């Protein structure tokens, strides 16, 4: 379907004022995604490479060890990134939100699985075609390097979180980090949506589900947060930040 963004001739013939409804120019996550560095003519090229995919809740975008034949830009919704260990245990590696770019690693196969926690929309790019575009656009390559550097910093923070923080500090750090990610998306609010379940949080934070539930209940009892359907409301953000920075 086309969106008319300007007047055309009386016969309704196509004109340069028309563009696809889901064009890269109109993409709501473009300002926070790696493609934000591209000019309008470059976005037009990118658009020819992309394909929008929709996932239902619990549907898998790609599985661990599947051939890494594509990269994905998350447009809407959230996904859980997990790795299955050799002993059968599951480790949650992270959560993808709008604006995140998945599949950037150079391995031939995906090292994690990506499963939709909510209805999800992604833009899919065939890996070779996207790689050719990156090779031709040094500023896009720099943007990807910056994103990779940011993800490396997050991984280092996660190692510190698992190795040195108390259970309460881990939960507080998770909530503060999620609030910062939502704010970057333009969704600053005192209420944090938690699309992931308690077990997901536990597997990500290296805790048991009972411990996560107990820590959230403690924060609620101490009036730091208020547990609400689908998330938590931040009643004392300053105290939560202090716990996260401990």
- Same domain, yes or no: 34 and 133: yes
Based on the fold, state whether residues 34 and 147 are members of the same structural domain: yes
Residue 157 has pLDDT above 80, yes or no: no
Interval 183-226: pLDDT, tens: 988 888 889 999 999 999 999 999 999 999 999 999 999 999 99
pLDDT greater at residue 231 or residue 87? 231
pLDDT in tens, 3-59: 333 333 333 333 333 344 457 888 888 888 888 888 888 888 888 999 999 999 999
The candidate with the shortest Cα–Cα distance to 167, out of 126, 201, 200, 131, is 201
CATH (domain of 81):
2.60.120.10
Report which DSSP code applies to 37: G
| Token duo for residue 76 | 């809407």
The verdict on residue 89 lying in a domain is yes
What is the model's pTM?
0.82
Structural domain span for residue 208: 165-244
Indicate if the pLDDT at residue 131 is higher than 90.
no
Q: Is residue 6 part of a domain?
A: no
Average pLDDT, the chain: 85
User: Whole-angstrom Cα distance, residue 197 to residue 58?
Assistant: 12
Last residue of a domain, one of 116, 142, 159: 159
Distance between CA atoms of 93 and 219, rounded to whole angstroms?
24
Confidence of residue 60 (pLDDT cuts 50, 70, 90): very high
* Same-domain status, 147 and 184: no
C-alpha–C-alpha distance, residues 39 and 36, integer Å? 8
Higher pLDDT, 6 or 97: 97
Residues 137 and 61 in one domain: yes
pLDDT of residue 161: 66
The residue among 159, 183, 203 that closes a domain is 159
Structural domain ending residue among the three candidates 131, 159, 187: 159
CA distance 97 to 232: 18
Do the domain assignments include residue 66? yes
In CATH, what number is assigned to the domain containing residue 236? Answer: 1.10.10.10
Domain identity same for 228 and 200: yes
């Amino acid at each position: 379907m086309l969106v008319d963004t300007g007047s055309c001739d009386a016969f309704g013939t196509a004109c340069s004022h028309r563009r696809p409804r889901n064009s890269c120019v109109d993409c709501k996550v473009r300002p926070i995604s790696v493609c934000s560095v591209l000019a309008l003519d470059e976005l037009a090229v990118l658009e020819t490479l992309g394909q929008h995919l929709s996932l239902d809740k619990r549907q898998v975008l790609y599985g661990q060890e599947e051939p890494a034949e594509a990269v994905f830009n998350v447009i809407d919704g959230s996904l859980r990134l997990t790795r299955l260990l050799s002993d059968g245990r599951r480790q949650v590696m992270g959560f993808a939100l709008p604006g995140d770019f998945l599949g950037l690693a150079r391995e031939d196969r995906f090292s994690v699985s990506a499963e939709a926690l909510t209805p999800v929309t992604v833009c899919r790019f065939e890996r070779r075609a996207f790689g050719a575009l990156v090779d031709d656009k040094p500023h896009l390559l720099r943007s990807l390097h910056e994103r990779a550097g940011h993800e490396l910093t997050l991984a280092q923070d996660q190692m510190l979180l698992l190795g040195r923080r108390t259970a309460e500090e881990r939960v507080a750090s998770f909530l503060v980090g999620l609030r910062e990610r939502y704010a970057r998306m333009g969704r600053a609010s005192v209420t944090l949506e938690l699309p992931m379940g308690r077990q997901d949080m536990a597997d990500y934070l290296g805790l048991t589900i009972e411990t996560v539930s107990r820590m959230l209940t403690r924060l609620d009892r101490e009036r730091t947060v208020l547990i609400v359907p689908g998330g938590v409301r931040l009643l004392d953000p300053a105290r939560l930040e202090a716990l996260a920075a401990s």
